Copies of this chain bind each other. A is one copy, B any other.
Amino acid sequence: MKNIGDSVHDFFTLKKQLCFAIYETAGEFTKLYTSVLHPFGLTYPQYLVLLALWEQDGITLKDLGETLSLGTGTLTPMITRMEANGWLRKERSRQDERRVFILLEEKAHAEKQAITKKVGQEIQSCHIELDEYSQLMKQLNQLQQKLKQRKS
C-alpha cells in the first residue's frame, strides 16, 4: 500500500484525482487572469506569450514554442492574432529563411507596467502566502519532472 493507485477501491474518485485538482486549478487561474486581461484585449495564453517576450524579445517561433511548451499548430494562429492587435510583429530571418523572429511592438512595451500592475494586484487580492506559493512551485516542478521522465 505504498504507491498511488494500489487501492483501487476509492482512488478513482474525481475528488481524489490529482489530475483533476490540477485541471480545475488551471481553470480557476484562467478565469482570474481572463477577467484581469480582458480590458487590455488579451487572453491568458497571449499574456504568457508577452511574459516570455518581455524576457527575451526577438526569439524565434520555435524557441517561443519550447518556452511555452506549445507547437506551431497553436502558436502560429495565436501570433497572427496578436500581430493583428498590434502587440508584436513577425520577421523572417535572412540568414535562415525557415526561422521567424517574434518582435514586440511599442504597444507591448508601453502597456507592460499597467498590465503587470493589475495582474499583481489581482493575485495579491487572493492572499496567497509566500510559503504556500514557493512550496507549490517546488512541488509542481518536481511533479512535472516525473511526468516528463515517464517516457523511459
Which residues of A are in contact with B by a Cβ distance under 8 Å? 2-6, 8, 11-14, 16-29, 31-33, 48, 51-52, 54-55, 67-69, 116-117, 119-128, 130, 132-133, 135-137, 139-144, 146-150
24 intermolecular pairs with C-beta atoms under 8 Å apart: A2-B130, A3-B124, A4-B123, A4-B130, A4-B133, A5-B119, A5-B121, A8-B116, A8-B120, A12-B51, A12-B54, A21-B136, A22-B29, A22-B140, A23-B29, A23-B48, A24-B144, A25-B140, A28-B147, A32-B147, A126-B146, A126-B147, A126-B149, A135-B139
A43 to chain B, nearest CB (A): 13
Docked complex Cα distance between A123 and B13 (Å) = 15
Q: Is the pair A51, B143 in contact by a Cβ cutoff of 8 Å?
A: no
A contact patch SS? helix
Q: Is the pair B26, A23 in contact by a Cβ cutoff of 8 Å?
A: yes
Provide the residues of chain B in CB contact with A127, threshold 8 Å. 146
Q: Is the pair A136, B133 in contact by a Cβ cutoff of 8 Å?
A: no
Q: Is the pair A136, B143 in contact by a Cβ cutoff of 8 Å?
A: yes
A29 to chain B, nearest CB (A): 5
Q: Is the pair A16, B132 in contact by a Cβ cutoff of 8 Å?
A: no
Provide the residues of chain B in CB contact with A31, threshold 8 Å. 147
A22 to chain B, nearest CB (A): 5
A151 to chain B, nearest CB (A): 9
